[in-house]
Amino acid sequence: MPVNRRIILRAHPDGVPKPADFAMIEEAVPVPGPGEMLVRNRYFSMEPAIRGWLDGKDNYFTAIPLGGVIRGPTLGQVITSNHPGFQPGDHVWGLNQWEDFSILSDQTILLEKLDVSPDIPLSHYVGALGPSGLTAYVGLHDVGRISEGETVVISAAAGAVGSVAGQIARLRGARVVGLAGSDEKAAILTGRLGFHAAINYRKASDLGAAIADACPAGVDIYFDNVGGRTLDAMLPRMRDFGRIICCGMISDYNNQATPTPVHNLWQVVAKQLTLRGFLLFSHMETLPQARRDLHQWAAAGELVALENITHGIANAPDSFCRLMAGETVGKTVLEVD
């Protein structure tokens, strides 16, 4: 008899999470009721947003309680279905839980049947062709209104969202500069992903000066994945009427009680900047076009899907902790089996 292995929250993390903050339990495989389906999870999408649900405080989702199963997006395959829209074998995506088997239904947030191509590795639908790539696309188009010839700077540029955002910006004819936390990551940006320049922000003694060197005419769009000190350094480097795409603020996710102050906000007035935050699920109308473009670029070899895959559900906490320690390159994915 198969069992359902589930990863639960054992302790609220103090700073960077560690595997001991999590535990694995085993329960019976659930049975779907009317309108529900039993899904075997294939991949967990490791998302920085999960860190915000571990501190016992609600944000735009409720906090995960101690002993609760970790919530996160998953890609799975239907085993049995009492839902008229899903058949056994269908690939499904949704905001689900870290477990082998799940019951999904119309109540599942972001529930979606995926149209997967046999020519594309399934894991890419978690990253570059999934929510990370879609987030990059929506941010640049709906929020940033990117145009050819503009200068775009991207933080956490070697990460899941950043690596796709930089490539899309290049494909849209922009000049792209990436910020990343090591020389190895910076080399991947300019070598494999076609960024025009890259800065190891940890090594730069004056980040503002390094950005000014890389962008002598100023920055039209800053795709901000990190907030904090990097956002502060970017504000004076923006051009008049520049746009800052506020995608995430990971530099403070391990430190939410005392977020980093931002000192240069006056630049928003002086340069007439637009700072706009967004959440992917508020831009559903853009997703069909985004998917078509991302697929086309990937099929043509113009979009590299960087990913790091960890195997085995028991290693999900370790995979997540490495993401939150800034150690990963590309999309961090957990392959369940």
Position 204 contacts ligand NAP (CB under 6 A)? no
Binding-site member from 41, 74, 167, 251 for ligand NAP (CB under 6 A): 251
Position 219 contacts ligand NAP (CB under 6 A)? no
**168 vs 323, which CB is nearer to ligand NAP?**
323
Binding-site member from 50, 75, 111, 180 for ligand NAP (CB under 6 A): 180
Binding-site member from 32, 48, 73, 94 for ligand NAP (CB under 6 A): 48
Q: Which of 7-15, 45-53, 71-79, 206-214 is the region at the interface with ligand NAP (rule: CB under 6 A)?
A: 45-53
Position 310 contacts ligand NAP (CB under 6 A)? no
Position 13 contacts ligand NAP (CB under 6 A)? no
Q: Which of 3-11, 104-112, 157-165, 231-239 is the region at the interface with ligand NAP (rule: CB under 6 A)?
A: 157-165
Position 129 contacts ligand NAP (CB under 6 A)? no
Binding-site member from 298, 324, 333, 336 for ligand NAP (CB under 6 A): 324
Minimum CB distance to ligand NAP, residue 219 (Å):
17
> Which among 319, 336, 316 has a CA at the least distance from the CA of 327?
319
**72 vs 248, which CB is nearer to ligand NAP?**
248
**24 vs 287, which CB is nearer to ligand NAP?**
287
Position 247 contacts ligand NAP (CB under 6 A)? yes
Three-state DSSP string of the chain = CCEEEEEEECCCCCCCCCHHHEEEEEEECCCCCCCCEEEEEEEEECCHHHHHHCCCCCCCCCCCCCCCECEEEEEEEEEEECCCCCCCCCEEEEEEECECEEEECCCCCCCEEECCCCCCCHHHHCCCCCHHHHHHHHHHHHHCCCCCCCEEEECCCCEHHHHHHHHHHHHCCCEEEEEECCHHHHHHHHHCCCCCEEEECCCCCCHHHHHHHHCCCCEEEEEECCCHHHHHHHHHHEEEEEEEEECCCHHHHHHCCCCCCCCCCHHHHHCCCEEEECCHHHCHHHHHHHHHHHHHHHHCCCCCCCEEEEECHHHHHHHHHHHHCCCCCEEEEEECC
114 beta partners: 91
For ligand NAP (CB under 6 A), the number of binding residues is 30
**144 vs 159, which CB is nearer to ligand NAP?**
159
Q: Give the CA-trace dihedral at 181, 73, 110, 70, to 10 degrees.
A: -120
Position 245 contacts ligand NAP (CB under 6 A)? no
Position 54 contacts ligand NAP (CB under 6 A)? no
Position 73 contacts ligand NAP (CB under 6 A)? no
Q: What is the CA radius of gyration of the chain?
A: 20
Binding-site member from 156, 207, 214, 316 for ligand NAP (CB under 6 A): 156
Binding-site member from 154, 160, 234, 235 for ligand NAP (CB under 6 A): 160
Position 166 contacts ligand NAP (CB under 6 A)? no
Are 130 and 117 contacting, i.e. CB atoms less than 8 angstroms apart? no
Binding interface with ligand NAP (CB under 6 A) = 47-49, 132, 135, 156, 158-162, 180-181, 185, 225-226, 247-251, 254, 278-280, 323-324, 326, 328, 332
